[in-house]
Amino acid sequence: MTIPLLSPKRFLIPFLALATMFVAVSHVEAGGVAGKRFGGFKAGEKFSLTVQSVTSSQTIGKRTKDKSSIPEGIPKFKKGSTVKFVIGRKGELTGPGISIAYIGASGKMNAYAKLPTYRTPSPNAASVFKDDKGRADGVILTFYLYRLNTNDLSGKGLAINRVVYLLK
């Protein structure tokens, strides 16, 4: 099954994740590193959540393959598995195969992002949602992997994998 390149289904979750990050960046809490609290979480704070859904797709040129396998370089979690997270000493969200820098917080949501660079062009993002008591209640993890498609000689060139995990 292929989904058109501009389909709302394709962009809904990444759009929501990016939108929440932009809101968070504009409302970064004062205190950050000096107070050793990052959006209400203390450095070293731990929490575990269960994977509710896994969405993986691969786009080459204008063709998208849903339910593609998760490539090397992106953490692999199965639906129903428990993922343990720790807030790092600089506020980063860490877990198995994950270390994503703290961007900021807004209300009941913390935003994390690894922005692309020349050496690591694939971005990652996370949003941690909190309950009324400030405890982690849900997480959206979004991973991208950009690479040259060496299996396709048609000139399409770039392969983009996207994996989104929803945890509760």
Has residue 1 got a pLDDT over 60?
A: no
Determine, yes or no, domain membership for 90: yes
What are residue 105's DSSP bridge partners? 110
Residue 15, classed as helix, strand or coil, is: helix
**Range 74-92 average pLDDT:** 97
Residue type, 24: A
Residues contacting residue 130 through CB under 8 Å, at least 6 positions apart: 40, 108, 109, 110, 136, 137
Entry field: residues in the chain = 168
pLDDT at 6: 46
Tokens of 141: 């993890």
How many domains, the chain? 1
82-86, 89-93, 143-147: range with lowest mean pLDDT: 143-147
Q: pLDDT tens digit string along 96-145?
A: 999 999 999 999 999 999 999 888 889 999 999 999 999 999 999 999 99
**Range 77-86 average pLDDT:** 98
Closest CA to 17 of 109, 146, 133, 90: 109
Determine, yes or no, domain membership for 1: no
Distance CA 50, CA 6 (A): 31
Distance CA 90, CA 47 (A): 17
Which residues constitute the domain of residue 109? 8-167
Determine, yes or no, domain membership for 93: yes
Determine, yes or no, domain membership for 3: no
Determine, yes or no, domain membership for 2: no
